[in-house]
A and B are shown apart, each in its own frame.
Chain A
Amino acid sequence: MAQVLVVDDSSTVRNEVGGFLAANGLTVAFAVDGRDGLEKMKADPSIKLAMCDVNMPNMDGLTMAEKIRSDLKNGTVNIIMLTTENSPAMKDRGKAAGIKGWIVKPFNGAAVLSSIKKLVS
């Protein structure tokens, strides 16, 4: 049972973000790509927030966000993208998929922690 799902093909990022969140009292699950993320979402209905990279093998993060809404019919989980991408077109696609926010890497935990906790509560 986890509150936050961190989805990134980089274990460096998963460790950094997950470690920070766990150190600040949140329970964290991990996925290595969009396909894995969908499986983890399906298996754990307690997840309140997904933090996802965009560029991942097998399934990218924006496609995963779209499928969370369409295939899993989950309209309540909050989704934030954590990515190197910063293009307006990608953000528009994310907004259409109902994502809540966008962080351009590198991750700055201190700057986003309070917002993350609100999205989880």
Chain B
Amino acid sequence: MIVEKLVVSKVLVLDDTRTQFDSMKVFCEECGLVGIRPQHGDEASVMAILESNVDLGGILLYENFGGEPGRGLELARKIHESRPELPIFLRRDSVASVAGFHEKDAAMFRCAYTQADLQQLRTSLDASIFSRAYPTDLVRGITEMTRASLETLFPNCDIDIETPYLVKDRIIYGEVFTLIAIDSNWCRGYMMLQAAEDEVMGLIRRGAGSEGETMTFRELNNVLGEATNMVWGSFKNRYVGQNDSRHEQMQTQVPIIINHHRNYISFGSEDPQLCLKYTLRERNQPNAVSVSIFQRFVFNLNWSPEDFKENPSVESLVNSGELEMF
């Protein structure tokens, strides 16, 4: 099984040292990181990004970000208090360690590194963000089957898919999400689809023509529910073994915690989640706003990619949609 870096991760780059920009950009590309910089370096702008749905894998922070010595540490405290699940990697000018920090401050950082030696950062990134390897065939298969399901349910839309990425965020996107369990010998967890209600309702109503005028949020629930069902079914047909003996494993469960007020969901695991973003654009409506649906895979109960395998082709002589008579 070949495991390539087909998946990337978004990191918030809080480093305003201009001489480092080019080398940081190259480093990020080499590591599979997509860097996001705030437009302004003040605390309010940074926290606004963290509260929005950027789906971050981590934060690269310079100890003197903002031009003031030690400001990075103050910012790290605010970030860590608000989003403790996001790993912070601290760049320091001369010392590649958190020596001299109070114990509580030192614990906020996954590592401290200097620009002269990025290997420590690379190792820490692998351990913190890229700690899970997702088989290439799995990731490609997921995008294929999800695209097919969305194309069936939104036949008036073209669908774009971003490069899949790893996320440590626990923030829920939008107002509606579906959740379905996935069980096999090699993985156990959940799949989520998340969407903003108004945006998807608009798509559904316009696609339904005059019948759309009377549609309510329940139709959105049904459509997203069916999308979830179709993806889950395809995943099961393709990747869940017919003879998976998982009875004992299936006895374990952990609580899922949802905080509606904070748009937060936790599955009890700190491992990065595989996230895919699907953008739906209505054909023949050049002025229509594109609509995003986010898909997350949270294998919090079991993850054994060494046992991953694809089932033999299930299409056999009958394609989906056709009747196989017995």
Contact = CB atoms under 8 A, between A and B. Distances in A.
Q: Do A and B bind each other?
A: yes
Interface of A: 10-13, 55, 80, 83-89, 91, 94-95, 99-108, 111-112, 115-116
Contact of B321 (A87, A101, A111, A115): A111
Interface string B15-49: 00000000000000000000000000000000000
Contact of A12 (B222, B318, B320): B222
B242 A10 contact: no
Contact of A104 (B226, B229, B242, B321): B321
Given A84-B234, A87-B242, A10 B326 contact: no
A112 B237 contact: no
A115 B323 contact: yes
Contacts of B81: none
Contacts of A104: 237, 318, 320-321
B247 to A, nearest CB: 15
B237 A84 contact: yes
A101 to B, nearest CB: 5
Given A86-B314, A87-B237, A105 B320 contact: yes
B323 A13 contact: no
B223 interface: yes
A57 to B, nearest CB: 11
B233 interface: yes
B138 interface: no
Contacts of B297: none
Interface in B144-166: 149, 152-153
A12 B223 contact: yes
B230 interface: yes
Given A101-B323, A108-B322, A111-B322, A11 B237 contact: no
5 contacts: A11-B219, A86-B233, A103-B320, A103-B322, A106-B149
Contact of A10 (B222, B237, B314): B222
B205 interface: no
A89 to B, nearest CB: 6
B321 A107 contact: yes
A85 B152 contact: no
B299 interface: no
A83, A84, A88, A105 pick with most chain B CB within 10 angstroms: A84
Contacts of B322: 103, 108, 111-112
A41 to B, nearest CB: 20
B66 to A, nearest CB: 51
